Structure 1
Amino acid sequence: MSAPSTHRIGLSHSATLHGVTAFPVTVETDIGGAVPNFIILGLADKAVQECRDRIRAAAKSVGLPLPPQRITVNLAPANTPKAGAHFDLAILMSIFDKSELLIGAERTFFAAELGLDGTVKPVRGILPMLLAARDNGLTQAVVAADNAAEAGLVTGITVKGYNHLSEVLNDFLDDPRISLPEPAVGQKLTPAERREVSDRAVLDMSQVSGQAQARFALEVAAAGRHHLLLVGPPGAGKTLLAQRLPTILPALSVDEALEATAIASLWRTEGTIEGLRTTPPFVDPHHHASTSAIIGAGRPSAPPGAITQAHRGVLFLDEAPEFKRDTLEALRQPLEAKKVTVMRAGATIDYPCDFQLIMAANPCPCGYNPSAQCRCTPQQRHRYNTRLSAPLLDRIDLQVRVEPVKAENLGQSSEHETSATIAARVNAARQRQRARLQEFGYELNSEIDMLLATGALKLPASTRRNLDRHLERGLLTARGYLRVIRIAWTLADLRGIEMPDMGCVDAAFTLRMNF
Structure 2
Amino acid sequence: MPGYGRAAGVALLGLAGLLVEAEAVVTAGLSRFSLIGLPDAGLSEARDRVRAAVINSSIPWPQAALTVSLAPASLRKQGSSFDLAIAMAVLRADGKVRPEASGEPVYFAELGLDGSVRPVRGVLPAALAAVKAGYSAVCVAEANAREAAQIGGLRVVGVRTLRQAVAHANGEPVPEDPPPSDEPHLRPTGASSPSDAAAGPLSSKASASLAGPASSAALGSTSSTSLVSASASAFASAVRAEPDLADVLGQYEARLALEVSATGGHHLFLCGAPGSGKTMLAERLPGLLPPLDEEAALEVTAVHSLAGTLNPLEPLVTEPPFCAVHHSATAAALVGGGSSVLRPGAVSRAHRGVLFLDEAPEFGRAALDSLREPIESGEVVIARSCGMAAFPARFLLVAAANPCPCGRSMSTMGVCTCSPRARSAYLGRISGPLLDRIDLRVDVSPVGPSELLAAASGGQSGESTALVAERVRQARERASARLTGTPWQLNAQVPARYSRANWPLGNEALAGAEKALHSGVLTARGLDRVVRVAWTLADLSGRDRPSRVEVDTALGFRLAAMLPGNL
TM-score scaled to structure 2, two decimals? Answer: 0.85
In structure 1, the residue matched to 2:446 is 404
| Matching residue within 422, 429, 452 for 2:475 | 429
In structure 2, the residue matched to 1:134 is 131
Q: How far did 1:299 drift?
A: 4.7
Q: Is 1:16 aligned to 2:11, yes or no?
A: yes
In structure 1, the residue matched to 2:550 is 504
| Matching residue within 475, 479, 484 for 2:521 | 475
In structure 1, the residue matched to 2:505 is 459
Q: Does the CA-based 8 Å contact 2:272-2:410 persist in structure 1?
A: no
Q: Is 1:53 aligned to 2:48, yes or no?
A: yes
Q: Is 1:367 aligned to 2:413, yes or no?
A: no
User: CA separation of 1:468/1:79 partners in 2, compared to 1, >3 Å: closer, same or farther?
Assistant: farther
User: CA separation of 1:461/1:238 partners in 2, compared to 1, >3 Å: closer, same or farther?
Assistant: same
- Equivalents in 2 of 1:330, 1:183: separation in Å? 49
Q: How far did 1:9 drift?
A: 2.6
**Bigger CA drift: 215-224 or 402-411?**
402-411
- Equivalents in 2 of 1:58, 1:503: separation in Å? 71
In structure 2, the residue matched to 1:292 is 332
Q: Does the CA-based 8 Å contact 1:19-1:300 persist in structure 2?
A: no
Q: How far did 1:77 drift?
A: 1.4
Q: How far did 1:79 drift?
A: 1.6
- SS of residue in 2 equivalent to 1:415: coil
- Equivalents in 1 of 2:430, 2:490: separation in Å? 26
Q: How far did 1:350 drift?
A: 1.7
Q: How far did 1:72 drift?
A: 1.4
- Equivalents in 1 of 2:385, 2:526: separation in Å? 37
Identity %: 41
Q: Is 1:87 aligned to 2:82, yes or no?
A: yes
Question: What amino acid is the match of 2:304?
Answer: A
What runs of 5+ residues in structure 1 fail to find an aligned partner? 1-5
- SS of residue in 1 equivalent to 2:484: helix
- Equivalents in 2 of 1:37, 1:477: separation in Å? 71
CA offset digits 1:400-423 (Å, max 9, x no partner) = 000001122126385211111000
- Equivalents in 1 of 2:90, 2:415: separation in Å? 72
Q: Is 1:26 aligned to 2:21, yes or no?
A: yes
Q: Does the CA-based 8 Å contact 1:14-1:27 persist in structure 2?
A: yes
Q: Does the CA-based 8 Å contact 1:19-1:299 persist in structure 2?
A: no
Q: How far did 1:432 drift?
A: 0.4
CA RMSD, Structure 1 to Structure 2 (Å): 2.1
Q: Does the CA-based 8 Å contact 2:270-2:441 persist in structure 1?
A: yes
Question: What amino acid is the match of 2:19?
Answer: P
Larger RCO, structure (CA 8 Å, separation 6 or more): 1
- Equivalents in 1 of 2:229, 2:77: separation in Å? 31
Q: How far did 1:136 drift?
A: 0.7
- Equivalents in 1 of 2:362, 2:318: separation in Å? 32
User: CA separation of 1:270/1:454 partners in 2, compared to 1, >3 Å: closer, same or farther?
Assistant: closer
Q: Is 1:163 aligned to 2:163, yes or no?
A: no
Q: Is 1:208 aligned to 2:248, yes or no?
A: yes
Q: How far did 1:181 drift?
A: 5.5
Q: Is 1:274 aligned to 2:314, yes or no?
A: yes
Q: How far did 1:345 drift?
A: 2.9
- SS of residue in 1 equivalent to 2:262: helix
Q: How far did 1:298 drift?
A: 5.0
Q: Does the CA-based 8 Å contact 2:439-2:533 persist in structure 1?
A: yes
In structure 1, the residue matched to 2:419 is 377
- Equivalents in 2 of 1:40, 1:472: separation in Å? 71
CA offset digits 1:54-97 (Å, max 9, x no partner) = 11111011111321222211111122221111111110001111
Q: How far did 1:337 drift?
A: 1.0
Question: What amino acid is the match of 2:397?
Answer: L
In structure 2, the residue matched to 1:283 is 323
Q: Is 1:358 aligned to 2:352, yes or no?
A: no
In structure 2, the residue matched to 1:386 is 428
Question: What amino acid is the match of 1:396?
Answer: I
Q: How far did 1:11 drift?
A: 1.1
- Equivalents in 1 of 2:174, 2:308: separation in Å? 34
CA offset digits 1:290-326 (Å, max 9, x no partner) = 1101011155623201001111111110111111110
**Bigger CA drift: 472-481 or 80-89?**
472-481
In structure 2, the residue matched to 1:3 is none
In structure 1, the residue matched to 2:107 is 110
- Equivalents in 2 of 1:194, 1:440: separation in Å? 45
- SS of residue in 2 equivalent to 1:86: coil
User: CA separation of 1:181/1:308 partners in 2, compared to 1, >3 Å: closer, same or farther?
Assistant: closer
- Equivalents in 1 of 2:460, 2:45: separation in Å? 57
| Matching residue within 243, 249, 271 for 1:231 | 271
User: CA separation of 1:193/1:377 partners in 2, compared to 1, >3 Å: closer, same or farther?
Assistant: farther
What runs of 5+ residues in structure 2 fail to find an aligned partner? 189-227, 563-567
Q: Is 1:331 aligned to 2:371, yes or no?
A: yes
Q: How far did 1:104 drift?
A: 6.0
User: CA separation of 1:94/1:508 partners in 2, compared to 1, >3 Å: closer, same or farther?
Assistant: same
- Equivalents in 1 of 2:432, 2:555: separation in Å? 17
- SS of residue in 2 equivalent to 1:440: coil
- SS of residue in 2 equivalent to 1:17: strand
Aligned residues: 507
Q: Does the CA-based 8 Å contact 2:247-2:461 persist in structure 1?
A: no
| Matching residue within 142, 149, 152 for 1:152 | 149
In structure 2, the residue matched to 1:71 is 66
- Equivalents in 1 of 2:134, 2:493: separation in Å? 37
**Bigger CA drift: 271-280 or 229-238?**
271-280
- SS of residue in 2 equivalent to 1:229: strand
Question: What amino acid is the match of 1:248?
Answer: L
Q: Does the CA-based 8 Å contact 1:223-1:426 persist in structure 2?
A: yes
- Equivalents in 1 of 2:140, 2:509: separation in Å? 60
- Equivalents in 1 of 2:308, 2:449: separation in Å? 42
**Bigger CA drift: 39-48 or 386-395?**
39-48
- SS of residue in 1 equivalent to 2:81: helix
CA offset digits 1:179-225 (Å, max 9, x no partner) = 88543446626355556747464311111111111111111111111
- Equivalents in 2 of 1:244, 1:109: separation in Å? 41
- Equivalents in 2 of 1:501, 1:26: separation in Å? 62
TM-score scaled to structure 1, two decimals? Answer: 0.94
User: CA separation of 1:53/1:353 partners in 2, compared to 1, >3 Å: closer, same or farther?
Assistant: same
